[in-house]
Structure formats: structure tokens, C-alpha cells
Structure 1
Amino acid sequence: MNAAPASKSITREEYHQRILTTLLYIENNLDADLSLETLADLSYFSPYHFHRIFTSIVGETFKAHIRRARLQRAYNQLIHTDLTILDIALAAHYSTHESFTRSFSQHFGFTPSTLRNTIKANPFTRMNINFEGGRPSLSYIHLFNKEIHVEVSIKNLDPIPVAYLRHIGDYMGVGETFSRLEQTLAQQKLKPNDSISLGIYHDDPDTTETEKLRADICASVSSDFKPFDDIGFQTVPAGKYAVAVHRGPYHKLKETYNAFYGSWLPNSGHTPRNQPPFEIYVTDPATTAPEDLITEIHMPIEG
């Protein structure tokens, strides 16, 4: 990862400038392999946080933005060039004519061949494109400026030794993994009375297929804990964290993440560290109503 420009703090304007630089790079390199690692490196953000910052500021995931940018270019190529539809499809990173046509039709409301044939029949025709209902024009992209309140504090944490189970798949299914971890530790008498339940989430569900999502489901333990079976041991690093409080059901956590990364972070002067965020579950969902649940989202920050 590139080293970020030396600075004690980062302003809202710099957050937006970094994202604008990334957007410009995408526009100028649509033929390139625009991976998460490449774009995060370009913007001087950790891959762990780049996708959330991009989504919260731009209003869509970077993958969705790249896909639309390539489709927008394909639209122009269909009108202004003699490239075959297959060549245009391959340039847009689709492996087949059929997959390109399907995606193009979903985005614009008509097929590539319909567009090309209509323009050939009458070069002065302009298709009536509906850019509402999930098919916005690239010109509609704007930086996220709406202020959304989120309760945030800055904390310096000591290292947290944890036992954990790796969860693969839908994050809404981590409850079963938590139950298995807690039952196993309780049976082995390895869970202290003051144990903390937390989850470390390595992937953003907006940018990763559900079946590939990775999370470490954790319970704090003593530092001399010995891993066994499929239960591992790790230490959540000490350091400075911005902590946002989410009050309510877990399925609404995304709203707090968006406010945290899209509204609070660019105004805070802080930069995230190269470390995934984690959640501490202050209340027990087994004994607490969903609307009363309290979750603390910990964003590791420099400093």
C-alpha cells in the first residue's frame, strides 16, 4: 500500500479529493484490472475501509460504478464506432455477447442491437433512456454531502485476546456461529464471566458475494488461551479507535455504517488504519428486544 501524504489529520475535502482521483482513474482506465487493492492503494486508504468510504461518499459500490462506466462507454461505442457488439462486450469485461446484452438491457432498458440498428436507420435518433429506477446516468454521480448524525467517541483500547470461529457466508447467520462458540467455551470452562462478544468483519457485503463473506466470531479470553479443534486464537490490536454506537436491530447496521463512513469520517480529520473494523455486542440478543440492542462499531484510526 502506498504511504499516505504526511499529515496529522485529513479533512473532508481531502477525503473527497481522494475519491475524485479514484473516479477519474476509473474513467481513464476502464480497460484495466480495477481491483479493490489497486483502487485502495491509489486513494491511500486501506482495502479494509476503501469500499465503505467509496460507497458512502459516492452512493454506490466501486464495482457497480465500474460496471456502469463500462456500460456507458459501450453505449457510446455502439453509436459512434463500427466495432462489433462482441468486441464492445469484451472491452467492457464481459466474456460473452449474451452476458453483455443481458447487463446492457437491464441497465438501459433496450438491447445493444436495438440501439445500433435504430441509430443506423436514423443517425439523428436519440433513444429515450429512462435513467430512473436503478439506471442513473454517470452524470448523476455526486459526492455524499448530507450530514447524518451518528454517535461517535474516540477510544484508546488495550489489546483484546479472543478465541474465535471463522464464519463464511451471510453475516445475518453469524448468530449460530456465536452460539456454537459460546457453548463450546462454556463446556470447556474457558469463557470468563466478563467475556466480551465481538465480530471482526473482513468483507463488505456490498462488494463481496454473500457466500464468500468472511467474519471472525469472537469471545474475549485470557491471554494464555490455547486454540483447539476449529477454534482459533488472535489478539485484537491495541490502539486508537473511533467508536460509533448503533441502537436497534442488526439488519439496520448498514445505515449506521453509511453514516459513520460517509458523514462522520470525512468531517473528523481522522484516517482509518489498515485493519478491519469490528463490532462489540453490548447487549445480548437472547434477552434484549431488537429495538433495544446496542452495538459498538470500532473503526481503527491513525494516531
Structure 2
Amino acid sequence: MQHIHDNPDGDLSLDALAEVAAMSRFQWHRVFRAMTGETSAQAVRRVRALRAAQWLVSTDWSVEQIAVRAGYGTLRGFNRSFRELYGMTPSAYRRVGNPGAVQVLLRRGGRDMHDVRIEERPSLRLAALGHTGPYIKAGRTFEQVSAIFTARDLWPQARGMVGVYYDDPGSKPEGELRADAGIVVEPGFPIPDGLHEVLLDRGPCAVLRFKGPYSELHTAYDYLYGEWLPQSGREPAERPPYEVYLNTPRDVAPQDLLTEICAPLVPVAVSAE
């Protein structure tokens, strides 16, 4: 999975990936599907489309350039594959996915992102792997954490997947952004070698449930911190926001992904009267 994320425009055929994994073609196909729940071809298709979606909304590269960089042999193939996953052509996605355009839709109520609830969230303990770099590339780190749990048969002890994001993407260069990709575990669970423990405190959070591709999550953050929070009368706590993933790209199409963005808040003081 790390090789796929790092080389979206490379040779990611079954034979090439089997060689990277030092397995026979037959062994590789069976092992990969057993460990990830998808074929390597499905994983390649998903990662390439995710990378292309991010480039469509964050660069001014032409659709043809993005198709090449994302590893598609032809523009026609890119259009077809992207439409199957995202429900629209790359050009249409660029128009709708552009941050400015999405903000207009938000103000007009065109996106179901206004439902923010204040909830008392429980403390969480994560077995996590650190990520440094653009947040859109954190999927690679989550794949690594998942692989550790799969290889060691630890999923029966898992209680969900959470990402903790320590930096505002606009506050520093993308290459310096810090995050933790974690799996929720019980207090007595031994943290596997290669992972570290992350503790999230119990407390009130503003919770926004977002439905859609991960490449559009930045619009939800813009609304939560830029519009909802200033009007809420609440103050953000000195703790990083975190995301709770209610499903995964392996289970549903990108437009059906469900993510809870949890922004910790300063508790409201209780009157002594």
C-alpha cells in the first residue's frame, strides 16, 4: 500500500506489485485480498482516484496533466474511472470541489454540512502511527496501521479508527503538518510494536458529520471553524480536532463516506446557584 501511494503514476500491475512484495503472482493476489479486503487492482483504482481528486481542487493543472500524473493511460479511461467512483466527471468535480465554489453552496444550503451538535465525548485511547506531510496523503499511514492490526490478528480488539490533526493546514508548509493515524483500543490493550499510544481526553466537542470524499473535508473544517464556532458562543479548547471514520473507502463509494469531525470545546462553567 505504501508503494501504491508513493507511485500512483508507476507500473502498478499485479505482476509489478508482486515483485515489490517479493511474492509470486498467485501468492500476492491471495495474500493482498485476505489482508486488505480488496484486490490490488481495486486498491490502485481507489488511490489513483483519491490523488486525482485532491489535485483537481488544489492545483491549476489541466485535467489531461492530472490524468497522466495519477497514472491513467488515457483521458477517456480517467474520465470513466473517476465518474464511476465520484459520480461526476473530473471537470465537473473541479467546478464543484473548488473550495470557493463549495463555500457558495454551503451558504446557500446546497450541502448537508450545517448539522453541528455539541456532545460530551468519552476519552479515547489509540494505538497510532505518526504522519508528517499533507493531510490528503494520510491514507497511506492509515493503511500501515491497518496492516499491523491485520497481520497480528488484532481487529477483534479494535473499537474504531480515528485521525488526530495537530496543525491547521494554513499555519505551516504542507510538508510539516503533523497527525496521528490511530485505532481505538481498550485501556488494557498492549500497544503493538511500531505504534505508540495517543490519549484523547473526555470533554465537550462540536461534532460535524460530513458525508462525502475525504478530499472535500477541508470545506467542513472551514464551515465549522469559520462560521459555526464564531456564532456559537463557545470557545475551542487547546486540544487538536480529531476525525472518527464511520466507514471506509473499501466499503462504500467516496460520496458515501461518513466522517465525524470533533472539535474539542472549553467546558461551560456551572453556576454555584
Q: TM-score, normalised by structure 1?
A: 0.49
Counterpart in the other structure of 1:294: 258
CA distance in structure 2 between the partners assigned to 1:194 and 1:181 by the alignment: 11
Counterpart in the other structure of 2:182: 218
| Distance apart, 1:196 and its partner CA | 0.9
Q: Map of 1:274-293 to 2, 5 A cutoff?
A: 274-293=238-257
Letter of the structure 2 residue corresponding to residue 246 of structure 1: F
Gaps of 5+ in 2: 1-106, 268-273
Q: Larger relative CO (CA 8 A, sep 6+): 1 or 2? A: 1
**2:136 paired residue among 151, 156, 172:** 172
How many residues are paired up? 158
Counterpart in the other structure of 2:72: none
Helix, strand or coil for the counterpart of 1:172? helix
CA distance in structure 2 between the partners assigned to 1:170 and 1:211 by the alignment: 6
Q: Map of 1:121-200 to 2, 5 A cutoff?
A: 150-192=114-156, 195-200=159-164
Helix, strand or coil for the counterpart of 2:221? helix
CA distance in structure 1 between the partners assigned to 2:260 and 2:192 by the alignment: 29
Gaps of 5+ in 1: 1-145
CA distance in structure 2 between the partners assigned to 1:296 and 1:225 by the alignment: 24
Deviations along 1:179-232, one digit per CA (max 9) or x if unpaired, are: 110121222233336521110001122222111111000100121233343300
CA distance in structure 2 between the partners assigned to 1:263 and 1:234 by the alignment: 29
CA distance in structure 2 between the partners assigned to 1:223 and 1:295 by the alignment: 24
> Contact conserved, 1:191 with 1:221, CA < 8 A, in 2?
no
Q: TM-score, normalised by structure 2?
A: 0.55
Counterpart in the other structure of 1:100: none
CA distance in structure 2 between the partners assigned to 1:226 and 1:232 by the alignment: 10
Helix, strand or coil for the counterpart of 1:192? helix
**Is residue 231 of structure 1 aligned with residue 173 of structure 2?**
no
Deviations along 1:162-188, one digit per CA (max 9) or x if unpaired, are: 100001112111111111101212222
CA distance in structure 2 between the partners assigned to 1:192 and 1:184 by the alignment: 13
Structure 1 or 2, whichever has the larger Rg, is 1
CA distance in structure 2 between the partners assigned to 1:193 and 1:283 by the alignment: 17
Q: Cα gap change, 1:193/1:163 in structure 2, threshold over 3 Å: closer, same or farther? A: closer
